[in-house]
Structure 1
Amino acid sequence: MRVSARNLLKNTLDLPPSLRTQAYATAANTSAAQPCTVPPWRPSNVLDDWVARDVRPISLRQLTFFGRTLTEPRLLESANYVRLELPTRIAHRLRNMQTLPYTALTNEHISHVYELYYGAFERFRKVSEVRNLDDNDRYCAVLKQTLNEHLSVIPRLAMGVLEIQDTIGPDQSDLLMKTLLRSRISRRVIAEQHLALTETFHSPWHFPNAKKPATLTPEDDFVGEILLKCNAKEIIEKCAATATQLASKAYGSEVAIPKIVLQGHLDTTFPYIPSHIEYIIGELLRNSIQAVIEQKGSSEPPPIEVLICEAAQHVIIRISDQGGGIERDVLPYLWSFAKGPRRYRRLENLATVPRLKATMQELEPGAASHSDKVKHGSSLSSLSSRPPELRLGMGLPMSKIYAKYWAGSLELHSLEGYGCDAFLQISRLGNKNEVLTTRASMDAV
């Protein structure tokens, strides 16, 4: 919407008081000959009520125990948890965005994300209590629609934070990006888990006395979206195959691809959401393969070593390559979405990716995963249509967000002129709550 300075002042009537001063300043510097784009605003009373609610974090273990014995009352309880939790979490993020300088909110990408969030908030908060299975089916349809609508959030948000740095600074841009992405993961986890539980409930084999066919073994290992015995070796091999295929497509079949050598505790299993761990491992292996190929050229490349270490509380996966290490000008900005010397190239590349789910499956055309059986656009897949050489500069920082979400960690050590060691640590027991950013913790930063 293109408006004059007079209309801009008129639009501030619906702004929270704390933002009106900024809006007036913007209007004072805006002439009729220089219109600007202004996101629509609404009264904040309803949003205030939801922001005042506390977020209720969950763990993989809680989700597993809850979904193992699935009855109709439990399914309805799950629906009502999600029904209240989603608008609460969205409300906190809307309030974060409202505290940005008004000029930042007029950015077309940030405004687009804000509008998607506000539309979802309005839709979710108006859903009445889920009392029966018909209510649940209608609610699931709303969830699926919203999940698919929000596939444009990641690229638009990334472009927005790159463009508003001059307004709010790169550090605050990074904080905004990480906060919104972590919250996005949390919302999609609880929404996709409920959708998967609903699908399980409607399957005739899930009842205790039902005879399960022999071909149903994979589903027995899942509770919703959670794989109870996620095998580290199998995950790494799957990701290695995808990354190798991608590298061969990018560099040509005549280029030698480094081998992936697995060592350590190869029988290690742990409860996890496969799409999360696949994304992290896939990005790390893809980066290592690309670095080794570009470092060694046409010569025989050294292998990439992957070590799996199983401890009492954690599983640690180390990925070591001999790809020459990370350039000095890039290394300080390794985990940043907004900073670094390749900022403008990222912006150009992101403009070619309108929808992004952030999954390993996006890297492999036609790939499928367990979560694909729920037809709602899994949180973790449209890079499948992306040229393999198109680099967005988001893989490592996004991987770190995924790792830290379940109270894990991701560190990378670069040996200049030699290679890199990446260390991924995850909880072996699945008993750690999701790491969320609340409104209060944002204010404290």
Structure 2
Amino acid sequence: MLFTRRCLGLFGSKIAKKLEHYSQFQPSSLTIQQYLDFGRNGTAQTSFMFLKKELLVRLANIMQEINLLPPKLLIMPSAKLVSEWYRQSFEELLNFEHADPSFDMITKFNDQLQIILKRHSHVVETMAEGLIELKESDGVDIASERGIQYFLDRFYLNRISIRMLQNQHLVVFGSVLPESPRHVGCIDPACDVESVVTDAFENARFLCDRYYLTSPSLKLHCFNSVSPDKRITVVAVPAHLYHIMFELFKNSMRATVEFHGVDEDLPPVEVLVVKGHEDLTIKIKDRGGGVSRTILERLFNYMYSTAPPPPRDGSQAPLAGYGYGLPLSRLYARYFLGDLFLVSMEGYGTDALIYLKALPVDASEVLPIFSTSSRRYMTMSTQVADWSHQLPTQGHRTPT
């Protein structure tokens, strides 16, 4: 009953019943192969019929979890704004709930998707501002922080999946142009991994040179164990891989320059790319001094950053100082059943390991599902300690 009242208060009675209805459905997890096949052989009508329900299901599942956030966070201006964006988008998509797939209706639907994409373009930064507002006003207790961390991983992964559905539909069946004629929507059937890696490195190096007036070089080695005489290619979303690599390169370059000094000969950032039968593995190795295990545990925490908080006047690059770079990069890796780990040796350097599925049939979406388990985890109070010391959390690996 309390949960229902909170839902009514946050999103209004008009859509509360629809939220309840659609949150009872599980999101449909798709593989990259399914995205690829449908992009090549599907129709705008079929895509419309699937999306008009699936988007409501994915939105409803995560909106029910928004209801479970600590009330102190939900009253923060930025968090309220994010909630309102989701309510508005859900309500607008309800207008197509029973619509037929006519040409005019699909055109209106595509226009609506463009509006929603634009509205949600700053969700990450705005929710981050909500956490800053909460910390500045009242602080965050341990139990709430654990629930918020759990929620944000699910919230941002849900956002990645929704944007994937929208962008794929708009590029294949709408007016949005693909980045390359070879692409099927957002997917490159033959993504050249080395090209994405070098592109991300050069762009990160440009930022490093501009800020520090120096930067480390790249030492890249690729090994294709499946076809040794060929370049490494996989079916992938290049934008996701680029996001991961760019963030990790920025971190490695910053650490390397600050550890060795701008006047020193900087050791290179070393990258090893290996394609196996099941996994594509990318290892980034730097000599940036590493971090202690205490800090390593915090690097995937949304409420922790090694950089100073960003200015409120927008004079700094988006996400700088929010501490969201690593946790979001890990989500992009995990979205299609990959992962990202860190191994650090304090006083020496850090290795980052990225795992992606080499086969598109194995690369399934990982989607949050609203359930009694997720509700219980988000709302449970502080637990009595069952260990003498806190054990390391997942998301990194420590050397043995």
1:335 maps to amino acid: F
Instruction: Provide the secondary structure at the position in 2 that maps to 1:131.
Output: coil
Task: Write the mapping of 1:7-406 to structure 2, written as runs, cut at 5 A.
Answer: 17-18=2-3, 20=5, 41-42=12-13, 44-70=16-42, 74-127=43-96, 128-162=98-132, 163=134, 166=140, 169-199=144-174, 218-219=180-181, 221-252=182-213, 255=214, 257-265=215-223, 267-297=231-261, 298-327=263-292, 329-339=294-304, 345-346=308-309, 349=310, 351-353=312-314, 386-387=316-317, 390-406=320-336
Higher mean Cα deviation, 265-274 or 38-47?
Answer: 38-47
How far the C-alpha of 1:305 sits from its partner, in A, is 0.7
The residue type paired with residue 283 of structure 2 is R
Aligned residue number for residue 429 of structure 1:
359
State the 1:49 CA deviation. Answer: 1.1
SS at match of 1:145: helix
Cα distance change of structure 1 residues 404 and 22 upon mapping to structure 2, 3 Å threshold: closer
**109-118 or 168-177: which moved more?**
168-177
Q: Structure 1 residues 315 and 339, CA, compared in 2 at 3 Å: closer, same or farther?
A: same
Structure 1 stretches lacking a partner, 5+ long: 1-15, 24-37, 204-215, 354-384
Q: Is the 8 A contact 2:252 2:286 kept in 1?
A: yes
- Separation in 2, partners of 1:352, 1:279: 24
Residue by residue over 1:281-309, the C-alpha shift from the partner in whole angstroms, topping out at 9 and shown as x without a partner, is: 11111111111111111111011110011
| CA-CA distance at 1:161 after TM superposition | 3.4
TM-score with structure 2 setting the length? 0.83
SS in 1 for 2:194: helix
- In structure 1, C-alpha distance between the alignment counterparts of 2:267 and 2:122, rounded to whole Å: 38
Residues 141 and 107 of structure 1, relative CA distance in 2, 3 Å threshold: same
Q: How far 1:132 sits from its partner (Å)?
A: 2.4
Paired amino acid for 1:437: P
Do the aligned partners of 2:232 and 2:275 also contact (CA within 8 Å) in 1? yes
Deviation at 1:391, TM superposition (A): 3.0
RMSD: 2.7
Q: Which amino acid aligns with 1:414?
A: S
**Which consecutive aligned stretches of 4+ in structure 1 deviate over 6 angstroms post-superposition?**
none
Q: Residue 240 of structure 1 aligns to which amino acid in structure 2?
A: F
Cα distance, 1:295–1:195 mapped onto 2, change above 3 Å: same
Gaps of 5+ in 2: 225-230, 378-400
Quick one: which amino acid aligns to residue 280 of structure 1?
A: I
CA deviations on 1:329-375 (whole Å, 9 max, x unpaired) are 52220111024687xx43xx17445xxxxxxxxxxxxxxxxxxxxxx
Distance (Å, rounded) in 2 between the aligned partners of 1:301 and 1:249: 16
Q: Is the 8 A contact 1:239 1:285 kept in 2?
A: yes
After superposition, the Cα gap between the structure-2 partners of 1:251 and 1:130, relative to the gap in structure 1 and judged at 3 Å, is farther
* Structure 1 residue 186 displacement after superposition: 0.5
CA contact (8 A) 2:58 2:158 kept: yes
**Structure 2 CA distance for partners of 1:46 and 1:217, relative to 1, 3 Å:** closer
Distance 1:320 1:390, change over 3 A: same
Q: Which moved more, 1:119-128 or 1:401-410?
A: 119-128
What is the rounded CA distance, in whole Å, between the counterparts of 1:54 and 1:40 in structure 2?
Answer: 21
1:121-143 Cα shifts (integer Å, max 9, x gaps): 00011214342222211111000
* 2-structure distance, mates of 1:217, 1:83: 25
Q: How far has the Cα of 1:40 moved from its partner? A: 6.4
Counterpart Cα distance in 1 of 2:316 and 2:232: 33
**Structure-2 change in CA distance of 1:318 and 1:106 (3 Å):** same
Deviation at 1:68, TM superposition (A): 1.4
Whole-angstrom CA distance in 2 between matches of 1:151 and 1:21: 26
Displacement of 1:42 in angstroms is 2.8
Q: CA–CA distance in 2 between the matches of 1:300 and 1:426?
A: 33
The aligned amino acid for 1:53 is F
Determine if contact 1:407/1:434 at 8 Å carries over to the other structure. Answer: yes
Q: Structure 1 pair 390/18, CA: closer, same or farther in 2 (3 Å)?
A: closer
TM superposition shift of 1:406: 0.6
2:101 and 2:174 map into 1 onto residues whose CA distance is 18
Q: Distance in 2 between matches of 1:389 and 1:425?
A: 24
Q: Which amino acid aligns with 1:321?
A: D
1:294 & 1:51 partners in 2: Cα distance? 48
Gap change, CA 1:250 and 1:133, over 3 Å in 2:
same
TM-score, length-normalised on structure 1?
Answer: 0.75
How many Å apart are 1:100 and its aligned residue?
2.8
- Residues 306 and 323, structure 2, Cα contact 8 Å, conserved in 1: no
For residues 172 and 46 of structure 1, what CA distance do their matches in structure 2 show?
A: 25
* Inter-partner Cα distance in structure 2 for 1:90 and 1:350: 31
Larger Rg: 1
Instruction: Indicate if the aligned counterparts of 1:329 and 1:341 stay in contact, CA closer than 8 A.
Output: no
The alignment-based identity, stated in percent, is 25
Q: 1:141/1:158 Cα in 2 relative to 1: closer, same or farther (>3 Å)? A: same
Question: What CA distance in whole angstroms lies between the structure 1 residues aligned with 2:285 and 2:119?
Answer: 38
Aligned-residue offset at 1:111:
1.1
Q: How far is the alpha carbon of 1:120 from its aligned partner?
A: 0.5
Asked whether the 8 Å contact 1:155–1:350 carries over to 2, the reply is no
- Report how many residues are paired: 361
